[in-house]
Every structure is written in C-alpha cells, then in structure tokens.
C-alpha cells in the first residue's frame, strides 16, 4: 500500500490527478492525501488557536468533497482512503516530519497545474517538496484520458477514416 501526497489549493481541477495516479500505480492500493501548506503566523493568538483550525476546512467546497467521494467509488479496489490535511510550518525539516508521520511514499503533481494560494499564509508547495527528499512524480492527466478513449473505442483507424470521408 502506498501513501501519496498531493499538494492542492482545493480547486476541482486538482482532483484530476487521481485518474492519473490510478493509471500510474496500476498494481498498488493507494492512500491519497491532499495537502495544503500554511506558514505559521507571528501572532500569539493565532498560535494558541492552532489546534482549533476548523475554519481552514471552510476552504474546501462541498463540491470538492463530493468529487472526492465519486472518484473513490470509481476505483473501489485501488483507492483505500482519500484525505485532506494541512501542514503548518515553513521549514523543510518540519515538512519531512509531516511526510514521515503519514508514511508518504511519494509526492504527486499534475503537469501544468498552477497552484493558487487560498489565503495570505499559503505556501507554494514546490518550495517544500523539492527539498524534502521524497520521490516527486509529475503526471499528465491528458495522456491518461486520451489513452483511455482509444482503448474504449476499439474501432480500427481505417474505419474511422472511411466514416469521416
């Protein structure tokens, strides 16, 4: 079983990586963790309230949760769990501890996906993941979907050309 960390800004587009992950890790059972990183505030009040960060979960839309549930039912034998976590900190050492705590196998990015901060404390995940010492994989969702369509049609190319003529 592999645990894969997916940095996200909770846009629905980021969920497309799951199809690519399932194709890339065909013979594995996956635990997928969507993570968003925040630097710690300098405010003592914010630090004291860190354990009550339920408002951070307000950044995740109901539609995002619904799409995660749909994808999980789409791959019942290959996806064990899909979770959402937040990382609070800005050092690579703290991020390495986070990775170890969740027993992360690798970090996955969707090619061409542009991360957008969700608030003033958001951290670009590339800053942490590039130096964390964990395998980083870059996946292309368009290729996966294009190959699926070719396999699904099973129509010889010559018949397609004749039909279009």
CATH topology of domain 2-164: Rossmann fold (3.40.50)
Per the listing, tokens 């979907």 go with 145
Cβ count within 10 A of residue 30: 21
Task: Spell out the domain ranges in the chain.
Answer: 2-164
Q: Comparing 46 with 81, which gets the higher pLDDT? A: 81
Tell me what pLDDT residue 160 has.
43
Instruction: For residue 23, count CB atoms less than 10 angstroms from its CB and return exposed for 0-12, middle for 13-18, buried for 19 or more.
Output: middle
Q: Are 17 and 110 in contact (CB under 8 A)?
A: yes
Instruction: Give the per-residue pLDDT at 55.
Output: 60
Model confidence at 74, pLDDT cuts 50, 70, 90, reads very high
Question: 3-state class of 27 per DSSP?
Answer: coil
Burial of 5 by CB count in 10 Å (0-12 exposed, 13-18 middle, 19+ buried)? buried
> What mean pLDDT do residues 49-75 have?
79
Q: Nearest to residue 14, comparing CAs of 139, 137, 130, 147?
A: 139
Question: pLDDT by residue (tens digit) across 26-61?
Answer: 899 999 999 999 887 666 666 566 555 556 666 788
Concatenate the DSSP letters of all residues of 84-112 into one string. EEEEE---HHHHHHHHHHTT--EEEEETT
Model pLDDT for residues 114-165, shown as the tens digit of each residue? 889 988 888 899 889 988 999 999 998 654 443 343 334 344 444 444 444 4
Query: Can you give the pLDDT at residue 61?
Result: 87
Q: What is the per-residue pLDDT for 57?
A: 64
| pLDDT score of 9 | 92
Query: Taking the CB of residue 89, how many other CB atoms lie within 10 A of it?
Result: 16
How high is the pLDDT of residue 161? 45
Instruction: Give the confidence band of 82 by pLDDT, cuts at 50, 70, 90.
Output: very high
pLDDT in tens, 84-127: 999 988 889 999 999 999 999 999 998 888 889 988 888 899 88
Mean pLDDT of 5-11: 94
């Amino acid at each position: 079983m592999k645990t894969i960390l997916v940095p996200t800004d909770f846009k629905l587009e980021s969920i497309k990586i799951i199809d690519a992950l399932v194709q890339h890790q065909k013979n594995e059972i996956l635990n997928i963790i969507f993570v968003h990183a925040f630097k710690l505030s300098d405010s003592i009040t914010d630090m004291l309230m860190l354990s009550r960060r339920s408002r951070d979960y307000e950044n995740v839309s109901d539609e995002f949760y619904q799409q995660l549930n749909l994808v999980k039912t789409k791959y019942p034998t290959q996806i064990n769990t899909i979770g959402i976590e937040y990382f609070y900190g800005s050092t690579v050492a703290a991020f390495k501890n986070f990775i170890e705590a969740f027993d992360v196998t690798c970090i996955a990015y969707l090619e061409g996906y542009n991360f957008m901060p969700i608030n003033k404390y958001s951290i670009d995940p590339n800053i942490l993941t590039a130096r964390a010492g964990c395998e980083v994989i870059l996946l292309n969702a368009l290729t996966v979907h294009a190959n699926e369509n070719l396999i699904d049609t099973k129509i010889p190319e010559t018949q397609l050309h004749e039909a279009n003529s």
